[in-house]
Amino acid sequence: MWTKATVICLFLSAIVSVPETVVGQQQMLGTDHLQLIEIRGKQRRDRIDGLTGVARTAPAPALEPLNPPRSTARQPAYDLHPNSGTLTPSGESIEFLGMEELQALIQSSIDASRVSEAQAKWNSIEQKLDSNLQDIRQLSQRIESVSQTPSQSVSSGTVASSISHLAPGIPRPEAQITPTSSPLQSSAVPWLTLTLSAFLVSLFALTLSAYRLGLSRASHLDRPTAPPQHVPTTVPEQYMPESSELRPRRTRGLAWPHEDAKAGATVLPLPVSQQEEIPEPLAPNIDLSTDDSATILSFETFSDQHRDEKKQKQEVNSALMAQILQDNLNLSNKAS
Amino acid sequence: MPAQNKDVLMSNKPQCVGIDFGTFKTSIVASNGNRDSIMTAVGLPKDHIARGMLGCDEVFGDRIGQVRTAVNLVRPFDCGALKYTDSSAAGLSADEVNRRCKAAKSIMGEVVRRVELGTGPRYAVIGAPSQASDEAKNVILQAASPHFDAVMIVAEPFCIAYGFGHLVGTLVVDIGAGTIDVCPMFGTYPKPDQQYSASVGGDAVDRELLSLIQQAHPDAQVTLNMARQFKEKFGTVSDDQERAVVVMPVEGVPTEFDITDIIRDACRVLVEPIIEGIHKTVAMSDPEFQAQLRGNILLGGGGSQLRGLDRLLETGVEKLGGGKVTRVNDCLYAGAAGALKLCMAMPAENWEQLRSQNAKAA
Ligand SMILES: Nc1ncnc2c1ncn2[C@@H]1O[C@H](COP(=O)(O)OP(=O)(O)OP(=O)(O)O)[C@@H](O)[C@H]1O
Ligand SMILES: [Mg+2]
């Protein structure tokens, strides 16, 4: 009963905890993602600020979320390479603002005769940046929506694929954004918990059964037993043959009626099928899914069978001994 | 418990031994944990000079090999005489019978001395061939009774089976030096007429091998002992075996001979009697248990070590309905260990009963 209840409780709690963790992971991914977008956007803005004095005149929010999500600083070349990628959220191709472009812009803006031309260029760039910003907002909204739907089975792979769909030139973020290899964040955690608790439960059930069995065994010991024999009936371990084959087998019991053996009649063993039914001693199969009382019951049957088998063996043995003694008494009679 | 009482109890503890008193070798296993095995032979000094050199009247075990030229070897059960057959059947003179009985006593004394039994009643279970004659059993009894308070004689294959705990549905085949004994186990003590014994064994193989070598290589100098050593080293009954190249002197010059085919042919002398024994004992037993017996054939004794014997016997048993043949791991002590197990399992009252009857008879 205990076992069942505990197992069910654990199972339920595991069911509840599994999606939670998965969702938490998704949310974490989303937050990280957005934070990174923020950071990268800021870096980009600072860089532009440093490069151009004119950048201040440009609308700051338009520049802010320009960078697509990036996680590591291992690829600094990204910002410096011109036209390093294209964003295609709605099918159209948008070029990134590269270093050379910016320099050309600065040059042209210094040239007073081409101020108006530069202004026009600025406007087009601004438009491009605006559409970029929209795309990125769209993306972040998608990420957010994905992370807020727990029942939907969305993996980090889906988010990653949507990001890579927007920016195929950028490495998939799953390897960089979230340290998925970390054991504490992987989906193995709930299973580990589940396995551990299942193990503890089985340990508890085993202890309980063993304790109860001990009580039942102790009660058997109170019963009167046969008087001890002077000559030990089994060969001590050290006198036994070394090879395991030479040792007597515990499993194969001898099976025939006590009375027949005592009467000295020619007795025949039970058919093979019945002999083989005798269970292997000392190896009870404990099934945790069954009720405890059933387990105890099977233990009792087992120990009863074991005792019967032992008793039967003793009877056979004593019949054999009597026969051998008789043969030898006859022999010594004949000799004298 | 006071130390004195403990000592008294310990001194009354029965000293049990199991003995395989074989034609070729004698193995003893004692309840004090000691065991030993020697050749069933005694070396008697050839003359006074040899006696003076050896410093004793009898030589046993490995020492015989070292002083072979100075002693006359007596093998009490040579060719199964006095063990399986009566002295008259073996054609032994009264003198020879006396000499052999004395040798048997000496060997028994030697093995008992080697296991260093403590004080306390001494009981022994000794293996004898399944169908040993009463005279043969008496020879064993007389050899052992001076050393023990009570002795029981039990069929050799039964000892092996008892040691393994195979008391039901097993056919034990003991391939010794003097005899091949086949004994079916039904859970009861097997009666002599349920068992089978053939007076063929390792000794017969040695003799056959010697004569075949002499026929094939007349110039080679070879003895029965050398033939036995060749057999024990290269003994096989199968065709696909490594070449048996042995060294035998030719006019004093060591010369190599390939005797692969000769050894195989000599060893195959055993196969027919074993198959016949299996066939007869299975046919005599309860029809419902015949298949079980054939399915669990256990080979014991030194002869079971012949390479390929188990497989060849399985092929031979196929025409009787098929079966499975296995061999014991420790053929040297399997019988003696089973005898000891039986000795210790025997209730004290049984030993007392036998002891008092022996006392009355004496
Ligand atoms: N490796 C071996 N290969 C073949 N034969 C062997 C091998 N080792 C021992 N033998 C033979 O086995 C025989 C001895 O076997 P074992 O000791 O069982 O006989 P025993 O008990 O003395 O004789 P028995 O049972 O007939 O009285 C000898 O003939 C010996 O040459
Ligand atoms: Mg033997």
pLDDT tens-digit profile of B252-296? 999 999 999 999 999 999 999 999 999 999 999 999 999 999 999
State whether B141 and B66 are in the same domain.
no
Q: Are B53 and B72 in contact (CB under 8 A)?
A: no
pLDDT tens-digit profile of B33-83? 999 999 999 999 999 999 999 999 999 999 998 998 999 999 998 866 777
Interface test with A, best of B170, B341, B349 (most A CBs within 10 A): B341
* Total domains in the fold of chain B: 2
What six digits make up the tokens of A127? Answer: 């438009």
Distance B203 CA to ligand 1 centre (A): 8
Q: Answer whether residue B345 shows pLDDT above 50.
A: yes
Query: Are A322 and B328 an interchain contact pair (Cβ–Cβ within 8 Å)?
Result: no
State whether B36 and B145 are in the same domain.
yes
* Alpha carbon of B343: minimum distance to chain A alpha carbons (Å): 9
Residue B148 phi/psi, 5-degree rounding, is -135, 155
Q: Answer whether residue A99 shows pLDDT above 80.
A: no
CA distance B83 to B80: 5
Q: Ligand 1 atom closest to Cα of B300?
A: 18
Q: Answer whether residue A47 shows pLDDT above 60.
A: no
Inside any domain, residue B266:
no
Q: Are B181 and B155 in contact (CB under 8 A)?
A: yes
Residue (of B37, B6, B18, B5) closest to B344 by Cα position: B18
Q: Are B158 and B51 in contact (CB under 8 A)?
A: no
Chain B residues touching residue A247 (CB < 8 angstroms) = 164-165
Q: What is the pLDDT of residue A257?
A: 34
What six digits make up the tokens of A56? Answer: 């201040």
Query: Are A332 and B33 an interchain contact pair (Cβ–Cβ within 8 Å)?
Result: no
Domain boundaries, position B54: 42-74
Between B324 and A191, whose confidence is greater? B324
Q: Are B38 and B146 in contact (CB under 8 A)?
A: no
Interface contacts (A, B; CB < 8 Å): 142
Inside any domain, residue B236:
no
User: How many Cα atoms within 13 Å fall on the side-chain side of residue B133?
Assistant: 16
Between A309 and B5, whose confidence is greater? A309
Give the chain A residue whose CA is nearest to the CA of B134: A331
Q: What is the pLDDT of residue A19?
A: 42
Where on the phi/psi map is residue A282: left (φ > 0), alpha (ψ -120 to 50), or beta?
A: left
Measured CA angle at A243 (ends B161, B19), to 5 deg: 55
CA distance A172 to A155: 14
Q: What is the pLDDT of residue A236?
A: 43
Nearest Cβ partner of A232 from B138, B154, B344? Answer: B344
Q: What is the pLDDT of residue A333?
A: 84
**Residue with CA nearest ligand 1 atom 15:** B302
pLDDT tens-digit profile of A105-130? 666 655 555 667 778 888 888 888 88
Inside any domain, residue B193:
no
Among B24, B140, B197, B203, name the best residue to mutate to test ligand 1's pocket (greatest count of ligand atoms within 8 A of Cβ): B24
Q: How much of chain A exceeds pLDDT 90, in percent?
A: 2
Q: Answer whether residue A9 shows pLDDT above 90.
A: no
State whether B29 and B58 are in the same domain.
no
- Using a CB–CB cutoff of 8 Å, tell me whether B306 touches chain A: no
Residue (of B25, B34, B37, B31) closest to B10 by Cα position: B31
Mean residue pLDDT across chain A = 54
Among B20, B25, B133, B229, name the best residue to mutate to test ligand 1's pocket (greatest count of ligand atoms within 8 A of Cβ): B25
Q: How confident is the model at residue B104 (pLDDT cuts 50, 70, 90)?
A: very high
CA distance B223 to B252: 14
End-to-end CA distance of chain A: 72
Nearest Cβ partner of A231 from B154, B166, B348? Answer: B348
State whether B65 and B81 are in the same domain.
no
CA distance A124 to A131: 11
Query: Are A247 and B188 an interchain contact pair (Cβ–Cβ within 8 Å)?
Result: no
Q: Answer whether residue A288 shows pLDDT above 50.
A: no
CA distance B92 to B90: 6
Residue B257 phi/psi, 5-degree rounding, is -135, 140
Q: What is the pLDDT of residue A117?
A: 77
Q: CA A259, A262, A266, A270: dihedral to nearest 10 degrees?
A: 50
Task: Show Cβ contacts of residue A155 under 8 Å, excluding neighbours closer than 6 positions.
Answer: none
Cβ neighbours around B341 below 10 Å, total:
29
Residue (of B89, B46, B12, B16) closest to B336 by Cα position: B16
From residue A242, alpha-carbon distances to A138, A175, A268, B8, B16 in Å are 79, 60, 31, 31, 18
Q: What residue segments make up the domains of chain A, in order of their start? A: 2-66+95-179, 216-283
Q: How confident is the model at residue B362 (pLDDT cuts 50, 70, 90)?
A: confident
pLDDT tens-digit profile of B217-231? 999 999 999 999 999
pLDDT tens-digit profile of A234-281? 444 444 444 444 443 333 333 333 333 333 333 333 333 333 333 333
Average pLDDT (B4-31) is: 82
A231-235, B67-71, B300-304: least confidently modelled range: A231-235
Q: Are A261 and B186 in contact (CB under 8 A)?
A: no
Inside any domain, residue B201:
no
Cβ < 6 A, ligand 1 pocket: B 20, 22-25, 40, 83, 156, 174, 176-179, 201-203, 228, 231-232, 235, 301-303, 305-306
CA distance A326 to A332: 10
* Alpha carbon of B298: minimum distance to chain A alpha carbons (Å): 11
Q: What is the pLDDT of residue A113?
A: 56
Inside any domain, residue B268:
no
CA distance A49 to A46: 5
Between B155 and A45, whose confidence is greater? B155
What six digits make up the tokens of A323? Answer: 């026969």
Q: Are B232 and B177 in contact (CB under 8 A)?
A: no
3-state secondary structure B297-347: EEEECHHHHCECHHHHHHHHHHCCCCCCEEECCCCCCHHHHHHHHHHHHCC
Of the ranges A53-67, A155-169, A180-194, the best mean pLDDT one: A180-194
Q: Which ligand is nearest to the CA of B267?
A: 1
A63-72, A93-102, A281-290, B170-179: least confidently modelled range: A281-290
| SS3 of residue A291 by DSSP | coil
- The one-letter code for the residue type at B56 is C
Inside any domain, residue B351:
yes
Q: Are B28 and B18 in contact (CB under 8 A)?
A: yes
pLDDT tens-digit profile of B150-164? 999 999 999 999 999
Residue (of B303, B305, B281, B304) closest to B292 by Cα position: B281
Q: What is the DSSP string of A125-188?
A: HHHHHHHHHHHHHHHHHHHHHHHT-SSS---HHHHHHHHHHH-TTSPPGGGTTS-TT-TTTSTH
Residue (of A231, A230, A253, A249) closest to A307 by Cα position: A253
Query: Are A240 and B168 an interchain contact pair (Cβ–Cβ within 8 Å)?
Result: no
Between B54 and A14, whose confidence is greater? B54
Q: How confident is the model at residue A178 (pLDDT cuts 50, 70, 90)?
A: very low
Between A10 and A272, whose confidence is greater? A10
Q: What is the pLDDT of residue A29?
A: 39
Distance B335 CA to ligand 1 centre (A): 12
Q: How much of chain B exceeds pLDDT 70, in percent?
A: 95
Q: How confident is the model at residue A187 (pLDDT cuts 50, 70, 90)?
A: low
From residue B209, alpha-carbon distances to A42, B204, B227, B238, B274 in Å are 101, 9, 6, 16, 19
pLDDT tens-digit profile of B122-140? 999 999 887 788 888 989 9
Mean residue pLDDT across chain B = 90
Q: Answer whether residue B358 shows pLDDT above 90.
A: no
Between A45 and A193, whose confidence is greater? A193
